[in-house]
Amino acid sequence: MERILDMVASQAQEAEVYQVRSQVKTVKFQANRLKSVDSASEEGIGLRVIRKGKIGFSSTTDGDDPHLLIQRALDSSQFGQEAHFHLPSSGKVPLINCHDTRTAALEAQEMIEKGEKAIRLVRKKFPYLECEAEIEKMERKVSIINSRGLNQSYKKTDYQFFLYGFLAREEEFLGVGEEESSSTYGDYSRTLAERLIELVSLAKRRVRISSGKYPAIFTSKAVPLLLKSLKMGINGKVVQKKVSPLLKKMRTYIASSSLNIVDDATFPFGPASSPLDGEGIPSRPTQIIEKGRLKSFIYDLQTAGLMRTRSTANAARSYDSLPSPSTTNLILKEGEVSFEEMIHDIKEGILVDQVIGSGQGNTLMGEFSVNLDLGYKIEDGKIKGRVKDVMISGNTYKMLKELAAIGSEARFVGSTRTPPLYFKEINVVG
């Protein structure tokens, strides 16, 4: 890396070398049996330069001969964006828990045993279910150096466990998926199996729901559907292009005063935790929504420069891509209402757990319309059974303003940590 930086230093105003080394092990189960065990490793280097005020970039998986990498980066700068930033210099980097030696040392045989255990628990309760599972562990080392003296590296682990059970019969299909992800190892076999068993048990009874407007509870698994609009709206690229619906709403109420959301790459062992962002900016929490008010957008160096503000340490990238703003661990603060209390409060309504695809609608503006993959009818404070052939629609921003309650228990779904959310109203077409 240092050699590349030395070679390009005289030909560019500024330069940055970004390297990723990763090892991945994946265990897959299909039709209740082990399907495959795969291991892969990858190493790549990205070179970003600022030459004559413009950004150039290239990448390679062959670091032995850097001449072509350098020339391509320099050549591409002729057609690159004008740079509105300077690369960061060395600074204090926080100590973040994002590497777990237990995960790094995890062997394939133990991963196989965890998958077999989860499937065995599910099929003990429901022998007719077909089960699939995917367990993956990754360890990677990220290094970044630049011409302004930055020289940092860190290691990160990831552990993901996905369990899926389905029943396919004539005129009936039921599929239930559960997952856990973290930077640290967890024995999720029983947890995921028990969740899946509970959802299948609730789905055994089929009920109908008429079209109309109903109160709705979104489980933690379903909440990320609603946050797509918010993630787009706070993204520095969208803000810079002046197409975000949140552009002129800074410090105004865009949600219920009970809602607090923070983007936090410093969260211990979060799926997206790291001490640095993709440009070497030290990680720090950024309050997105505080008591319902919009507090911040997210920026990398380029979008921050264009908007005449500073980076929020949200540059995401791989070795083969330029940095771009993205959320890290998006954390919704828990409320004080239990899931059971939410259910008990509803006379007639719907519980949303899984949807099919991403749906339709103007996502940027908060509009969505999507078919339910797994949803339940709530009646007189109890879950009565599964509803099928149902579509839900609404506007995310309107719903966030009309939050009835926030759940008291949160969990990660991907890199979003969220409790269940209870909304006053949603459109249902049955």
pLDDT band at 359 (very low <50, low <70, confident <90, very high): low
Both 132 and 92 in one domain: the answer is yes
Q: Please compute the mean of the pLDDT values over residues 359-381 and round it to a whole number.
A: 91
Is the model more confident about 172 or about 264?
A: 264
Is there a single domain that holds both residue 149 and residue 43? Answer: yes
For residue 153, the model assigns a pLDDT of 96
pLDDT > 70 in the chain, percent: 100
**Are 70 and 211 in the same domain?**
no
Q: Which of 182, 200, 218 is the last residue of a domain?
A: 200
- Rounded-to-integer distance, Cα 144 and Cα 314, Å: 15
The pLDDT tens digits for 211-258 are 999 999 999 999 999 999 999 999 999 999 999 999 999 999 999 999
210 and 93 inside one domain: no
pLDDT of residue 183: 95
Are 117 and 221 in the same domain?
no
With respect to residue 329, please indicate whether it lies within any of the assigned structural domains: no
Cα three-residue angle 65-68-70, rounded to 5 degrees: 100
Is residue 383 predicted with pLDDT exceeding 70?
yes
pLDDT digits (tens, 9 = 90+) for 249-264: 999 999 999 999 999 9
pLDDT class of 64 with cuts at 50, 70, 90: confident
Residue 250 falls within a domain, yes or no? no
Asked if 134 and 210 sit in the same domain, the reply is no
Other Cβ atoms within 10 Å of 212 Cβ, number: 12
Percent of the chain with pLDDT over 90: 93
Lowest-confidence pick of 16-25, 59-68, 138-147: 59-68
Residue 62 lies in a domain: yes
**Cα dist from 92 to 19, 97, 281, 286, whole Å:** 20, 16, 9, 18
User: Is the domain of 47 the same as that of 180?
Assistant: yes
Q: Say if 283 falls within a structural domain.
A: no
60 and 196: one domain?
yes
Structural domain for 110, as ranges: 2-200
Residue 364, burial from CB neighbour count under 10 angstroms (0-12, 13-18, 19+): middle
| 242 Cβ contact list (under 8 Å, min separation 6) | none
125 burial via Cβ count (<10 Å: 0-12, 13-18, 19+): middle
Least confident of 165-169, 229-233, 286-290, 340-344: 165-169
SS3 string of the chain?
A: CHHHHHHHHCCCCEEEEEEEEEEEEEEEEECCEEEEEEEEEEEEEEEEEEECCEEEEEEECCCCCCHHHHHHHHHHHHHCCECCCCCCCCCCCCCCCCCCHHHHCCCHHHHHHHHHHHHHHHHHHCCCCEEEEEEEEEEEEEEEEECCCCEEEEEEEEEEEEEEEEEEECCEEEEEEEEEEECCCCCCHHHHHHHHHHHHHHHCCECCCCCEEEEEEECCCCHHHHHHHHHHHHEHHHHHCCCCCCCCCCCCECCCCCCCEEECCCCCCCCCCCCECCCCCECCCEEEEECCEECCCECCHHHHHHCCCCCCCCEECCCCCCCEECCCCEEECCCCECHHHHHHHCCEEEEEEEECCCCECCHHHCEEEEEEEEEEEEECCEEEEEECCCEEEEEHHHHHHCEEEEECCCEEECCEEECCEEEEEEEEEC
**pLDDT in the model for residue 169:** 78
pLDDT in tens, 75-123: 999 999 999 999 999 888 999 999 999 999 999 999 999 999 999 999 9
Query: Are residues 181 and 213 located together in one domain of the fold?
Result: no
Q: Looking at the structure, do residues 38 and 106 belong to the same domain, yes or no?
A: yes
Decide which of 200, 215, 250 is a domain's last residue. Answer: 200
Q: Are residues 221 and 126 in the same domain?
A: no
- CA atoms of 104 and 123, how far apart (whole Å): 30
- Inform me whether the pLDDT recorded for 65 exceeds 90: no
**Structure confidence by residue, pLDDT tens digits, 133-167:** 999 999 999 999 999 999 999 999 999 999 999 99
Is 302 within the bounds of a domain?
A: no
Provide the pLDDT confidence category of residue 332 given band limits of 50, 70 and 90.
very high
- Judgement on whether residues 145 and 221 belong to the same structural domain of the protein: no
In a domain, 403, yes or no: yes
Q: Quote the pLDDT of residue 358.
A: 67
CATH code (residue 62): 3.30.2290.10
Domain end position, chosen among 166, 200, 234:
200
Residue 103 domain flag: yes
11-20 pLDDT tens trace: 999 999 999 9
pLDDT at 415 over 80: yes
Residue 8 domain-assigned (yes or no)? yes
Domain count, the chain: 2
Residue found by looking up tokens 């991403």 in the block: 358
Mean pLDDT of 382-407: 95
Q: Look over the chain and give the mean of its residue pLDDT values, rounded to a whole number.
A: 95
Give the pLDDT of residue 168. Answer: 84
Q: Can you give the pTM of this predicted structure?
A: 0.93
